[in-house]
Chain A
Amino acid sequence: MAVTQEDKELLALYGHPDTKERGFTLIVRKYQERLYWHVRRLVIDHEDANDVLQNVFIKMWKGLEGFREDARLYTWLYKIATNESLSFLEQQKRKSAISLSDVETGLSNKLQADSHYDANKIEWKLQKAILGLPEKQRAVFSLRYYEEMPYDEMSRVLDTSEGALKASYHHAVKKVEEFLKNN
């Protein structure tokens, strides 16, 4: 799917030296909230999400000149945001030299440290269930369940075939359901 009309105008602003800064600011303003929530669902903590999101936009600034307009800006940004989030989690794992299950426990602790956390509420139980999924599967689940992203776009974001993504999402839904039934 090609870049949208509005994004074309933003990219045109960015492409002109006099309006480059303005174009960048408008793109950030347009996508910041959607990307923040995508990142936040993956890294859980607000401060971590803030750091990752800033890296996403700095990467965007550096790479936007080479952006091909046959792709959607939205898809490209989600790709950067997903990769940055997964890299951040990977770094956390390496830094602490801890196992995957410990990372899950760490994220679960962060979840429970949230001031609004309520273990009895279904939306928080759902978050705990999602944390039980492997990281990439969590990204698949988040993009489909929360972002309502079509499989063809997800395929471009995650560089995975549509079939594999469909199977992964179906599997994730079953695991989440299982968790909710048992908790």
Chain B
Amino acid sequence: MMHEENDIAKELRDIAPALEHLGGHPHFDVPVRYFDAFPVQLMERIRAMENSSAVTEELEQLSPLLAGVSRETPFTVPEKYFKGLTEQVVKEKNAAGEGRVVKMGRRLKLFKQCLAAASIAGLIAVSAVLISRSLSGSSMDRMMAKISDQEIEEYLTYHTDAFDNEHIFTNVSLEGEMPSVLPEDLSSKEIDNLLEDNLLQDDSVN
């Protein structure tokens, strides 16, 4: 083996002495797993060739007339159609969005989440109604009732002027408070108390 290599090197030196100084072989790259895939690819081509001849033979037997006709399709496509097709398909695919598989388990989870969300929303709604009720007119009335007449009187004394008094008197009506027709069964004492209360009201605003 060594002897053979020496002979080859000597032969090369004799033929072209300059080549000796060019160095070793260049390094060529091949695609990854090229040699693994090569036999399979070759087999595929052989099968395709065999199949093609099988189709041709079959056709020759079935219809010699048709076997003699070119199998080229006469249709044409717009220029550079296939060049732009991939980009067009990718664009369409993005527009269509990704496919989503909805499993039953996922649906159940979604239902549970919706149920929880609905419960929270319901709780918030009920709370809002209760708070709103607690702040409604009747509650305000109760709070106002707790304020003593003395405090109201003081407030009005220090915070109102002649114009306010006029405004108050024009809007205050005792008609709603005083029954238009006194019930017959009211005792004279009850009538006196009623009159006294209203007179006191009258006095307090003055």
Contact = CB atoms under 8 A, between A and B. Distances in A.
A36 B86 contact: no
A125 B63 CA distance: 16
A120 interface: no
A177 B66 contact: yes
Given A29-B86, A54-B92, A148 B73 contact: no
B77 interface: yes
Contact of A123 (B40, B44, B59, B70): B70
B28 interface: no
A44 to B, nearest CB: 8
Given A4-B40, A150-B51, A62 B99 contact: yes
B124 to A, nearest CB: 40
B88 interface: yes
B77 A36 contact: yes
Contacts of B75: 37, 40-41, 44, 46, 114, 116
Contacts of A61: 93, 96, 98-99
Nearest to A63: B99
A160 to B, nearest CB: 18
Nearest to B52: A148
A30 to B, nearest CB: 10
Interface stretch (A80-88, A90-98, A101-109, A168-176): A168-176
With a 10 A CB-CB cut-off, give which of B40, B59, B65 has the most chain A CB atoms: B65
Contacts of A65: 99
Nearest to A115: B76
A5 interface: yes
20 contacts: A4-B44, A25-B86, A36-B77, A40-B73, A40-B77, A41-B75, A44-B75, A54-B92, A58-B89, A61-B93, A61-B99, A114-B76, A122-B69, A122-B70, A123-B74, A145-B55, A145-B71, A148-B48, A150-B51, A173-B62
